[in-house]
Structure 1
């Protein structure tokens, strides 16, 4: 199913759900059962063949029975292996009850209030997010291990009550907020989507034959369950509001949106920009995060970003409704977020916070150290290249030198100087794909459809660039609102990905 087909189908299904919600929910439940019916049916068929073969052997038809046992036994093993696939659990810094009793006490209170399943472990990671991941220990047949994952940046950004609101929302998905059937559909939807990646990688002929059904089934189930999943976001918000109140739930939604943007657009870029000048980071992110958030709370950016978020519409790219739609459903007006006197990290983690901060910073440094050093060396090399060629008139440089000079300027973020040179070098008969792609990226970021000509140059010169160039052309036309060309390039991109 292509992306455009998925969007059109979901739009149609939304109308169907509005007309007859009960019948639609029953249809999705039946579709959810279809996946299990196929899996159990294939398993029963292959095991039945094994027992039939054993029966033939027992009745002195050893040759035929032996072959049947062998063939069906191998098939049954492959079916079980496919269905019993183990999914990787979430990664991060685990916190025990002894280490963070106040956080665990909040989880216990949530469970007592919402009557949901047990949370088996809590993980703190570096994402600005919160989630509860249910990892099936028996593949599609369940026996779930529930992991609550909380990002330390989120804990540093929210107040304790706002954090409780976010946790209540996440817990609402696996408790009774959607009803038993709704919670089951929510859970298996996520499991099927995670298994889709595994099934797509099967290589044996039987594996491909068996999982062919799921490669057809999962996109359809995803589309049908998408409508319910969006409704479940509203239901989870209501579960949060019952736990902490509508005002706090609304405050948490706004704070997460606005402060998440600060982290993505201000904090992390400023930190990584140090690599241009320093061989090692000047400060550790998690240790500096609370101070950065407090300073940012005094700026006008939060107000601007809140209204930007409120202007966004609900789309089919995500099951989460827009911020405005969620606030409207709660019956709440937007209020610009402030920085809490005491963050959720301070109140819920207490004495464990310094250790957790230090562990996450150490893990972050290990993960980025090589990339940081590579960026630092690349910038130094670019500076040397600009100094070496800068005294010459760029117009008199050979095309290869002009390309290197322009790319070096681009590495140093001197985009306005680099762009005309990149275009000249790309349009030369001996121009290369790298300069054409670089020129196309800059123009596309500026919303200039002249970028497509450079993407086409890059594709002609280097086949490896075809997927990226096609995707960027599609994104450009979507951004400037040319629907016909968006769909044309989307179709091209989907054909490339499918091959």
Structure 2
């Protein structure tokens, strides 16, 4: 299912839900059961064949009995193996109750108030997020292990009550906020989405044949359950508000939105940009987040970003409603600009363990980025050398040197200077695919249809680029809204990406 098809289907289902919500929920439940019906039905048929083979053996029909028994034993084993998918447990630094007793105590208090299932482990990582991940120990058949994952940056950004509000929202998905049927659908929706990659990566001929149903079913079920999942976000908000209060939840939602934008648009890009000039990071991230947030708050950026967040509309890119819609649903009309808490949730809930956790996450981050950092630094230095050497005679360069010069400018984030040189190099008879695709992407960023010519040049020169470039052209026309060309390029995508 393509992105445009998904959006059209979800839009139709939203209208259907508005007209007859009870009937729509019943339909989603039926769609949810279909996946289990297929899984159990095929397994039941295989086991039935196995029993029939054993019955023939018991009645002295040896030849036919042996053939049936072996065939259906193999089939049953293959089906059971496909269904008993073991998902990787969440990764991150685990926090024991002994190391972080105050955090565990908070979770137990929220659990008691919301009457929810046990949290088996808490993991802290570097994401600006919090989530409860349910890992099924029996594949699609459940028996869940519940893991609360909290990002240290989120804990450093929020006050303790705000963090409690965020966790209470996540807990609301697992409790009675959605009703028993709604909670079940929420849970299996996440499980099916996590299993999608596993089914896509099936290797054997039988696995591909058996999981072909799921490769069709999971996107279809995702679309049908999307509207319900969005409603469940509002329900989880209401459940959290009953525990921590509307104003605290509203404060947490605004702070998470605004400070999360700072982290993704300013903090991390600013840190990684140092690789252009420094062979090693000038500072480690988690040790610097609180200071960076304080400076950003004092600068007045938080107010600007809050109003920008409130201006955004709910879209089909995510089941979460927009910030404005969530606040309106809570009855909060005048949200406050986020402030910098005197004591962060990390300081209050992690206490003596915070320095050690910070050091561990920073060390893990440094190990993770070290090779890419060094490669980026070397690449930028080489690009600067090319620009210095080739720039003075740019008008007289041969196509090979012109390509090098244009790509070097692009590496140095001088896209406006690079674009005319990229186009000239790409259009040359000896031009290469690299300059063509680079020119195409710069033009596509501004939805300029001239990009298509360069995508075509890139595809002509390097056949391996065809699937990726075709999808990029389709994405551009979807942004532009040209329905006729969307259809044309959708057909091309289906042809070149067909298995």
* 8 Å CA contact 2:162, 2:248 repeated in 1: yes
Shift of 1:39: 1.4
| Equivalent residue number for residue 419 of structure 1 | 419
3-state SS of 1:203 partner: coil
| Equivalent residue number for residue 247 of structure 2 | 247
Q: Confirm or deny that 1:380 pairs with 2:386.
A: no
| Counterpart mapping for 1:307-386 below 5 A | 307-333=307-333, 334-386=335-387
Cα distance in structure 1, aligned partners of 2:303 and 2:483: 32
Q: Confirm or deny that 1:111 pairs with 2:111.
A: yes
* 8 Å CA contact 2:193, 2:218 repeated in 1: yes
Q: Which moved more, 1:369-378 or 1:482-491?
A: 482-491
Cα distance in structure 1, aligned partners of 2:336 and 2:457: 49
CA 1:254 to 1:496, structure 2 compared with 1: closer, same or farther past 3 Å? Answer: farther
| Equivalent residue number for residue 66 of structure 1 | 66
Aligned length: 498
* 8 Å CA contact 1:2, 1:494 repeated in 2: no
Shift of 1:362: 0.7
| Equivalent residue number for residue 202 of structure 2 | 202
Cα distance in structure 1, aligned partners of 2:113 and 2:58: 58
For normalisation by structure 1, the TM-score amounts to 0.96
Cα distance in structure 2, aligned partners of 1:215 and 1:159: 42
Structure 2 runs not aligned, ≥5 long: none
Cα distance in structure 1, aligned partners of 2:498 and 2:467: 11
Cα distance in structure 2, aligned partners of 1:483 and 1:314: 22
3-state SS of 1:150 partner: strand
| Counterpart mapping for 1:175-190 below 5 A | 175-190=175-190
3-state SS of 1:94 partner: strand
Cα distance in structure 1, aligned partners of 2:41 and 2:471: 40
Shift of 1:216: 2.5
Cα distance in structure 2, aligned partners of 1:19 and 1:177: 22
3-state SS of 1:297 partner: helix
| Counterpart mapping for 1:75-90 below 5 A | 75-90=75-90
Cα distance in structure 2, aligned partners of 1:68 and 1:290: 67
Shift of 1:215: 2.2
Cα distance in structure 1, aligned partners of 2:42 and 2:486: 41
| Counterpart mapping for 1:257-296 below 5 A | 257-296=257-296
Q: Confirm or deny that 1:464 pairs with 2:464.
A: yes
Cα distance in structure 2, aligned partners of 1:125 and 1:259: 17
Shift of 1:22: 1.3
Shift of 1:444: 2.5
| Equivalent residue number for residue 237 of structure 2 | 237
Shift of 1:49: 1.6
CA 1:488 to 1:240, structure 2 compared with 1: closer, same or farther past 3 Å? Answer: farther
Cα distance in structure 2, aligned partners of 1:482 and 1:161: 47
3-state SS of 2:173 partner: helix
Q: Which moved more, 1:27-36 or 1:439-448?
A: 439-448
| Counterpart mapping for 1:296-311 below 5 A | 296-311=296-311
Shift of 1:205: 2.7
CA deviations 1:150-191 (Å, max 9, x no partner) are 011111111111111110111111111101111000000111
3-state SS of 1:391 partner: helix
| Counterpart mapping for 1:14-163 below 5 A | 14-163=14-163
Cα distance in structure 2, aligned partners of 1:493 and 1:171: 40
Cα distance in structure 2, aligned partners of 1:486 and 1:51: 52
Shift of 1:69: 0.9
Cα distance in structure 2, aligned partners of 1:27 and 1:446: 41
Cα distance in structure 1, aligned partners of 2:496 and 2:35: 29
3-state SS of 2:68 partner: helix
Shift of 1:93: 0.5
3-state SS of 2:298 partner: coil
Shift of 1:347: 1.0
Q: Which moved more, 1:152-161 or 1:33-42?
A: 33-42
Q: Confirm or deny that 1:8 pairs with 2:35.
A: no
Cα distance in structure 1, aligned partners of 2:494 and 2:250: 38
3-state SS of 1:145 partner: strand
* 8 Å CA contact 1:134, 1:146 repeated in 2: yes
Q: Which moved more, 1:338-347 or 1:84-93?
A: 338-347
Cα distance in structure 1, aligned partners of 2:217 and 2:280: 49
3-state SS of 1:66 partner: helix
* 8 Å CA contact 1:259, 1:302 repeated in 2: yes
Shift of 1:345: 0.9
Cα distance in structure 1, aligned partners of 2:476 and 2:303: 28
Cα distance in structure 1, aligned partners of 2:364 and 2:281: 14
* 8 Å CA contact 2:286, 2:361 repeated in 1: yes
Cα distance in structure 2, aligned partners of 1:444 and 1:210: 39
Cα distance in structure 2, aligned partners of 1:2 and 1:443: 23
Q: Which moved more, 1:305-314 or 1:87-96?
A: 305-314
| Counterpart mapping for 1:374-453 below 5 A | 374-392=375-393, 394-453=394-453
Shift of 1:481: 4.4
